[in-house]
Amino acid sequence: MTFASFAEFESYLDSLGLFSMQLGLSRMHEALGLMGLERPSAMVAHVVGTNGKGSTSGFLEALARAHGLATGLYNSPHLASVRERIRVRGAMVPEEGWLAAANAVMDRCAGVGLTYFELLTVMALYIFGQEGLDLIILEAGLGGTHDATCAIPADLAVMTPVGLDHEQILGPTLADIARDKSGALGRCPAVTGAQEEAVMEIFRQAGAGHPLLSLEDCRTSSGFLIPVGSASLLLPPASLPGHPPYQLRNAALAALAWSRLALARGWQFDAALCTQVLGTTRFFGRFCRHGRILVDGAHNPMGLTALCEALEAAGEHFDVLVFQAMRDKTLEPAVLERLRALADTVVIPGLPMERAFDARELAALFGSGALAAQDLQKALRQEGTVLLCGSLYLVGAYYELFPEQLL
């Protein structure tokens, strides 16, 4: 199979189904073998967890690149363009590079039956293999045991906080989810963010035989103190001006991961440079202010709670809450109540995807006064300040309306 244009490849990719998945790593192992990509020559950091994966991956990539390393970053989901998922040296790969990678992979792997996410994972590894990189950062898509990124050997596993999400696939309890994500452990050293004790015990057992360092061991009364050999990096809240409080934990976990990688490979670790990079790195769709609108991709109980805590602590209030969610997400009434209290009016836009809630049905969960709108464009016609959150796909729809804000 050969694609004549990037648009033709995108059409094929869409035909695979953005949300289609088949558990198991057999297709990935077969494709990686056919492509000769079983083991990248670069160091590999594998970022797994429930919340903060995208920010932690982004912070880690920015730290490595600032220290002079050639980096590859693979993350998901994308907001406005699928090209956001693969970055080399901090930049998106041009359409020509995507097309060459797609044709190379499909030339050898057309019969493997790769899913949407699996195909992109193999393409990312192919692109990274052409670039002579020092460090590759792979963000898991869903879970750990069966996630396509788990088919690639890693040099460091990075576990962000684990909470309830994708229960229909990973299991109904926190322990079920932790056990699935623990499949990324046991292969290499690991660092982890704050976890429930039951989750930590599962991780300790899964990672037995390899060092497992917790960010909680670095917590001090004034922030986080990251050890780096005989030196250290102190990250107080003031080191991340303009960021919400929860980003300090993601930044500190990325710094801890960078410290382990730097020590293992003899790479430079400049504490002052780390502080500068972490304080100035921003991510679209993560607590982004665009004029009167605050856009945040929080989409599960843990993430939405962290968002509420940040806004409540700052004493923020909005004229309008624009909210949407996927039907398979857990919507805790207590969290919806906290969100409702942050705004005078709630508007639920329809989203053109089957997974999204029906706007009227979701509005009913917020109680009397919540409104349903036909689409996001109509929802944003409301006057005043806006808090937009609930789903990364809602955030993506926002940036599709205002692509100039991604520049």
| Fold topology of 6-280 | UDP-N-acetylmuramoyl-L-alanine:D-glutamate ligase (3.40.1190)
Q: Which of 36, 35, 55, 39 minimizes the C-alpha distance to 47?
A: 55
Domain limits, the chain: 6-280, 288-406
pLDDT, tens digit, 9 for 90 and up, residues 364-389: 999 999 999 999 999 999 999 999 99
Can you tell me the distance from the alpha carbon of 56 to that of 251, in angstroms, rounded to the nearest whole number? 6
Can you tell me the distance from the alpha carbon of 273 to that of 128, in angstroms, rounded to the nearest whole number? 26
The pLDDT value recorded for residue 169 is 64
Lowest mean pLDDT across 83-87, 191-195, 227-231, 276-280: 227-231
CATH architecture of the domain 288-406 equals Alpha-Beta Complex (3.90)
pTM value is 0.95
Q: Which of 351, 352, 356, 344 minimizes the C-alpha distance to 382?
A: 344
pLDDT, tens digit, 9 for 90 and up, residues 70-125: 999 999 999 999 999 999 999 999 999 999 999 999 999 999 999 999 999 999 99
Q: Which of 262, 292, 112, 98 minimizes the C-alpha distance to 191?
A: 262
The one-letter amino acid at 162: V
> Mean pLDDT over all residues of the chain?
94
The one-letter amino acid at 336: L
Can you tell me the distance from the alpha carbon of 68 to that of 225, in angstroms, rounded to the nearest whole number? 23
Contacts of 33 (CB under 8 A, 6+ apart): none
Percent of the chain residues topping a pLDDT of 70:
98
